[in-house]
Structure 1
Amino acid sequence: MGKGKMDEKASFNDFMGLLKRTELNRGLFATGIILTLVGTIGSLIVPLLTQSFIDGYSPEVLSTGLIALIIMVFVLSAVLDGVAYYILAKIGQTIILRLRENVWDKFLRLPIGYFDQTKSGESVSRVVNDTAIIKDLITRHFPQLISGIVSVIGAVVILFILDWRMSLIMFIAVPVSIVIILPLGRRMSRISRALQDETAAFTGLIQETLSEMRLVKSFNGEAFERRKGRKGIRALYGYGMKEAAINAFLSPIMSTVMMFVIILIIAYGGLRVSEGTLTIGTMVAFLLYLFQIIMPMTMFAMFFTEYNKALGATERLILILGKEEEQGGDTTFDQPLDFNVLEFEDVSFGYDPENKVLHHVDFTARNSEKVAFVGPSGSGKSTLFGLIERYYDIDDGRIMVDGIDIRDIPLTQLRRHIGYVAQESAIISGTIRDNITYGLAPDEYTDEEVELAVRRSYSHEFIEALEMGLDTTVGERGIKLSGGQRQRIGIARAFLKNPKLLMLDEATASLDSRSERFVQEALDDLMEGRTVLVIAHRLSTVINSDRIFFLDNGHITGEGTHQELMAAHAMYRIFTEQQFG
């Protein structure tokens, strides 16, 4: 979806299109609305009963039947309102359920590039806040609008039947209300949309700061984060006060207008009663109906404010749902993948079109071969791994697995055969077992295989010392574990996955000597019989590699064994001496 679409305000058709994605139960929704209308109609009968009661009051008229009728109308109206509320609440919860499922599923299908450019907190705000705004409009404000319209129309019709001359007085308020509500409604719409954007940005800021609290503490960043957080808080406060200012202006004026109308009607009605041209019962009924008009009129302004909020939420959700997803490959692909040969053929890539990170890269890696990539920081080594995983698609050339372009291989099948161990293994909240078995269905492994992966990764050395063993919780991002323990869990995860292609971003680079010994032994075991790609940070990795590729500014400038490159590649020799001593 282009930038122009982002700048357009969502329309009612867009809103309805979004609702269609939720497969709204129209029959149930209609039932809720009908029950709401029946309850509203019941409330319109009450003033007429009151009129009859006042005008014809006598001990004889006050019969058990009339009292029972009044009570029954009240009770029936209340019951119908309760049932309607429950039905519409169910509809609303279903809408928010399916909208959140759609958006969450969409997030999981989006390419890594989207998350590179979008703060996670902003995405969280779309799933939580924007969907809630739409739910509130559908289940709370829309039924109120429908019942309000029916109440106003019904009350106006009955009032004209009761006394058309008094009814004309209340229409003084209509043009005044329109003149006030329309410009303020447009202003409120702009403020509401800005508030939604600011809320999403603030959510992103808070989540980012809280997730990196150790960085904040270590570098005494509290003062900086306090200023940044308070700036966001005050921005939200500013928008909230602008909304409050409009409401503070709107409510008293509307109340004053309505009070003026009420006073006119009471004065004129009192005169009519004294003249004998209007009964007291009719006068009381008239006032009751007038209040049934006033209440919805004040609610209409709120509805249009919420409606504009919902359009803003719709705009953002449609933008996300319209994002291009990861290209999943040929769905009919059914060939086995052995990863006997991985080839890069004239591959070029840039995170943006004008700045290439890799230029015309060619290399081949074969089964049971350990291939290392060496080069200065920023030369494109990690990018190679991202392209193999298809986090990003290449701009030119081809990446082949056993002679098949990886763009033709379904992503799930491609990634099922790839194991990746980074310098810092990613750990999720949950137990150690949850982390080792992450991404695998329960029928894809056994407890015995988990135990074997634990032993082969040397994780048992610390897991057996824990009271809960594999069921020990690790905290957010594995904060309760040491770096070496997190690495060994990451290696255990790779053992259990049993990949055919193993990619290592030198997993021992940031470990102490004791942890490094355990992790290196586990890695040596893990690398056996697989195609192995390594980003080399240690001399031992370089020397033990079957082939080494030297990357410099996205170009492969040298290939060979360590001895061959030391003899023939001056930059490799200089880099090795500087890097490894």
Structure 2
Amino acid sequence: MVTYGTIALAFWFGGDMVAEKQATLGSIFKVFGMLYLGVISLTRSATFYPHYGKAFVSETTLLKVVLRKPDIPFMGGVQPENIEGNIVIDNVDFAYPSRPNTLVMKDFSLDIKKGQTIALVGPSGSGKSTIVGLLERFYKPVKGKIYLDGVDLETIDPMYLHKVIGIVGQEPVLFAGSIKYNIAYSIGLENCTPEQIENAAKQANAHNFIMDLPDKYETQLGEKGVSLSGGQKQRIAIARALLQNPKILLLDEATSALDTESESLVQAALDQLMKGRTTICIAHRLTTVINSDVICVLVKGVMKEKGKHSELVKIPNGIYRNLAEKQMVITEEQVNDVEDVMDVLVDDDHHDSAHEEQQQ
């Protein structure tokens, strides 16, 4: 409409000027041509205005992210010289930023001595993985403090903290690169020797299957290690943690997604990894935490029970006892039944033997 209206107006005004001999026909067509091209260009440029609006909105959103100051800095803070692994969680409340009105942990306190193995068990959503996130400083507590060897965790350099804390999760993070690169990722290829990488793999029960691969330690893995099985990926992750040699070890459902054979190999590697380290183990399978120094039972962010396996199974109608009865094949009552049956069988054996001797 604008284009054709402008053309009509130009013809009318130009024709009037030619009729009154104020301009020639040639000059009118020159002006008309330039006017036509200008109007067409202006009309086409208007079609880009919606894109300009979208770009402006995107720029605003991007700048909000780029210029945002994180609550937890990436680096900076104290770097204690000697980390022993003593952890104190003191009356911590926590809510995720996306749900600030819903407390995931309430007045949670836990004292962990160096070298101890602490197991966290409980139903899904009870706050077990939240504790791992808080120790790694991925989040800040709403209330309370966490101390590492008496030093407030919030004052420790996050980069340094991640060097002294090792983690093995349910789904290990592997990268597109060689097996050697993935094992050395925690400290960097330039900071270790091939012999150190191989020793870590041997301790993690990974050396044998690596040597069966065509390119051995130079074998290229796809993104997330798609060319390996679940148990193999876990053992690569354990080898990485062994090479890192952390003072504190976090195990988050490290064997939950494995079959029985893979689980036994991975558990043996984990036992090797846990020696001499403060270990916090999260598990749904109670068979993996029976030998822990302390087992903490969490329900909706509150510690309901605490003690050794032998102590917790004796609590009448206890949460841990109920979990154990659901997961373990033989309960205490079943053990007594089996013993009674065995006594009967032994008595029958003696009776049959005596009867045979009398017949002879």
Asked whether the two chains share a fold, i.e. TM above 0.5, the reply is yes
Distance 1:263 1:451, change over 3 A: farther
Among candidates 276, 284, 292, match of residue 537 of structure 1: 284
Among candidates 103, 112, 123, match of residue 376 of structure 1: 123
Letter in 1 for 2:12: L
Among candidates 331, 343, 348, match of residue 88 of structure 2: 343
Q: In the TM superposition, what are the counterparts of 1:92-171 in structure 2 within 5 Å? A: none
Deviation of 1:493 (Å): 1.9
The superposition leaves residues 397-450 of structure 1 with CA deviations (integer Å, 9 ceiling, x where unpaired) of 111100011111121111121111112222334443343333544433333332
Q: In the TM superposition, what are the counterparts of 1:34-433 in structure 2 within 5 Å? A: 253-264=1-12, 267-268=15-16, 271=19, 275=21, 277-279=22-24, 282-328=27-73, 331-351=76-96, 352-433=99-180
Query: Contact conserved, 1:387 with 1:393, CA < 8 A, in 2?
Result: yes
Distance 1:307 1:371, change over 3 A: same
> In structure 1, how many angstroms separate the alpha carbons of the residues matched to 2:207 and 2:268?
14
Query: Contact conserved, 2:72 with 2:139, CA < 8 A, in 1?
Result: no
> In structure 2, how many angstroms separate the alpha carbons of the residues matched to 1:382 and 1:348?
14
Letter in 2 for 1:336: E
Query: Contact conserved, 1:337 with 1:402, CA < 8 A, in 2?
Result: no
> In structure 1, how many angstroms separate the alpha carbons of the residues matched to 2:110 and 2:319?
19
Provide the secondary structure at the position in 2 that maps to 1:463.
helix
Provide the secondary structure at the position in 1 that maps to 2:239.
helix
Query: Contact conserved, 1:329 with 1:409, CA < 8 A, in 2?
Result: no
Higher helix share: 1
Distance 1:434 1:338, change over 3 A: same
Task: Specify which structure has the bigger relative contact order, considering alpha-carbon pairs within 8 angstroms and separated by 6 or more residues.
Answer: 2
Query: Contact conserved, 2:121 with 2:283, CA < 8 A, in 1?
Result: yes
Distance 1:470 1:266, change over 3 A: farther
Letter in 2 for 1:488: R
Query: Contact conserved, 2:204 with 2:266, CA < 8 A, in 1?
Result: yes
> In structure 2, how many angstroms separate the alpha carbons of the residues matched to 1:291 and 1:361?
76
What do you get for the CA RMSD once the two structures are aligned?
Answer: 2.6
Provide the secondary structure at the position in 1 that maps to 2:180.
helix
Provide the secondary structure at the position in 2 that maps to 1:567.
coil
Tell me if 1:448 matches 2:200.
Answer: no
Provide the secondary structure at the position in 1 that maps to 2:276.
coil
How many residue pairs get aligned? The number is 326
> In structure 2, how many angstroms separate the alpha carbons of the residues matched to 1:479 and 1:467?
16
> In structure 1, how many angstroms separate the alpha carbons of the residues matched to 2:27 and 2:54?
41
Higher strand share: 2
Letter in 2 for 1:259: I
Structure 2 alignment gaps of length 5 or more: 330-360
What's the TM-score, normalizing by structure 1?
0.52
Tell me if 1:579 matches 2:318.
Answer: no
Query: Contact conserved, 2:255 with 2:266, CA < 8 A, in 1?
Result: yes
Structure 1 alignment gaps of length 5 or more: 1-252
